[in-house]
Chain A
């Protein structure tokens, strides 16, 4: 029961997806789309489980008066407020004078999303601009050909993607009276040719790996995720 049923479900759900792709029969397609919907529901339930776990951890933190437990209050407040605004019936919200309810545009949920979540997310990522630059300054040491290639490419891509890159190239081309490739053109060539070649190889390798792992899971060889060896 503990191992056989999860294994059976793994094989059944996996095979349904594969068979549904190759067999164009309406009954098979219907069954496949049903299984796909169930998987989407389970994935959504897994998200809720993860969030429930976050809430539980922070509630424990508050009850035990752990270090920095005070910060768990805004976290739980924001969490429950967002859930409440998002799931209560839409007409309850509109009856309070708001233009929309639920997760619709103009609802309080949407207002919080646009004025709190999005700005903080953008700023979090923007912070990385400082740290990524300072980390590179400390970590990059051009001692080998490989390191030189990495650093030169990074600099060319960075300069080539801003207007000043084009201005420098135009100024230089005017100085030597030649029509050489501009920095934006070099940057585009790097992205389109050597970068694409390596990315393509990585994608091919990753696809082969994912296919092999998926086959092992569907055939019941790889069982570690469902409590097997």
Chain B
């Protein structure tokens, strides 16, 4: 019974969202607002269960006095909603921005910059001509694309030619990303249609 009710609710809400293909209408607007409410509520409840309860509430109950610091900072964040005293919300904002800046500094350095440069130091003498060509293209592609993003020198002459090659690599990448996104959306669409005609209406 709960499965039937659930499938019916999911089917009706799916149709309500699809109704936007005809035009912006009352049913779509209702479903859209319902979705925003559900999403917002979901994130609050999720944060409560995964963050506030284990990291703050349980510790405060256990007598951890230090946990009053994040509690105080979290409360200060809500001064943003007050008519006066909004400047107090800059304290937790400052703490958050500083922490994320520190995390990003390490994360990008270790996870992206070093890893990507390391991954692109490739041999062009592997014994297989296909691998050699591919490795050469990877090296040239990365370097020329970086040249395109280097704006300290005017893109003229040799730099201009390299930057032009970089644009070609970027265009191929944008085209691939576009095609990939379209196909991802298509598979989602097929998934929804499969649900509507299979799981819900049992026509498939």
Residue numbers of A with Cβ under 8 A of B are 2, 5-18, 21, 34-56, 68, 71-72, 74-83, 85-87, 102-103, 109, 111-130, 132-133, 136, 145-147, 149-158, 161-162, 189-208, 210-211, 213-215, 217-218, 225-227
Asked whether, in the complex, the Cβ of B17 is within 8 Å of the Cβ of A127, the reply is yes
Q: Does B189 contact A (CB under 8 A)?
A: yes
The answer to whether B6 touches A111 (Cβ under 8 A) is yes
Nearest B residue to A160 via CB reads: B179
Q: Which residues of A contact B56 (CB under 8 A)?
A: 41
Q: Produce 1/0 per residue, B165-196, CB < 8 A to A.
A: 01111111111111111110110110110010
Q: A17-B106, A35-B99, A217-B101 are in contact. Are A150 and B185 (CB under 8 A)?
A: no
Contact B106–A127 (Cβ < 8 Å): no
Specify which of B49, B143, B172, B191 is in contact with A87 (CB 8 Å cutoff): B49
Interface size on B, residues (CB 8 A): 109
- Picked from A201, A215, A217, the residue with its CB within 8 Å of the CB of B146 is A201
Q: Tell me the complex Cα distance, A118–B181, Å.
A: 19
Give every chain A residue within 8 A of B198 (Cβ-Cβ). none
- Bound: A190/B92 CA distance, A: 45
Which residues in window 95-119 of B have CB below 8 A to A? Answer: 95-106, 108-109, 112-113, 116-117, 119
Chain B residue contacts of A79, Cβ below 8 A:
37-38, 40-41, 44
**B26-43 contacts to A (CB < 8 Å):** 29-43
Residues in B lying within 8 Å of A, measured CB to CB: 2, 5-7, 9-11, 13-14, 17-18, 20-21, 29-49, 51-52, 55-56, 66, 69-71, 73-74, 77-78, 80-81, 87, 90-106, 108-109, 112-113, 116-117, 119-120, 134, 137-138, 140-143, 145-146, 149, 166-183, 185-186, 188-189, 191-192, 195
22 A-B interface contacts by CB (under 8 A): A6-B91, A9-B94, A13-B99, A39-B100, A44-B51, A44-B52, A54-B40, A75-B37, A82-B40, A82-B45, A109-B45, A126-B189, A151-B175, A157-B178, A158-B182, A194-B173, A201-B143, A202-B173, A203-B112, A204-B113, A210-B108, A214-B104
Residue in contact with A201 in the complex, picked from B11, B103, B166, CB distance below 8 Å: B166
B21 partner residues in chain A, CB cutoff 8 A: 127, 130
Across the interface, B145 reaches (CB within 8 A) one of A87, A162, A202, namely A202
Specify the chain A residue showing the minimal Cβ separation from B136: A193
Q: Are B41 and A78 in contact (CB under 8 A)?
A: yes
Q: Known contacts being A113-B42, A200-B120, A207-B112, is A158 close to B179, with CB within 8 Å? A: yes
Cβ contact of B137, chosen from A13, A52, A54, A194, cutoff 8 A = A194
A208 touches B113 (CB 8 A): yes
CA distance A111 to B176 in the complex (A): 37
Would you call the interface of chain A mostly helix, strand, loop, or mixed? helix
Give the top 10 A-B pairs by smallest Cβ distance, nearest first. A86-B45, A197-B141, A82-B41, A17-B102, A153-B175, A78-B37, A157-B179, A6-B94, A201-B145, A198-B173
Nearest residue (CB) in B for A3 is: B90
> Which residues from chain A contact B178 at a C-beta distance below 8 Å?
132, 136, 150, 154, 157
How far apart sit A82 and B39, CA to CA, in the bound complex (Å)? Answer: 9
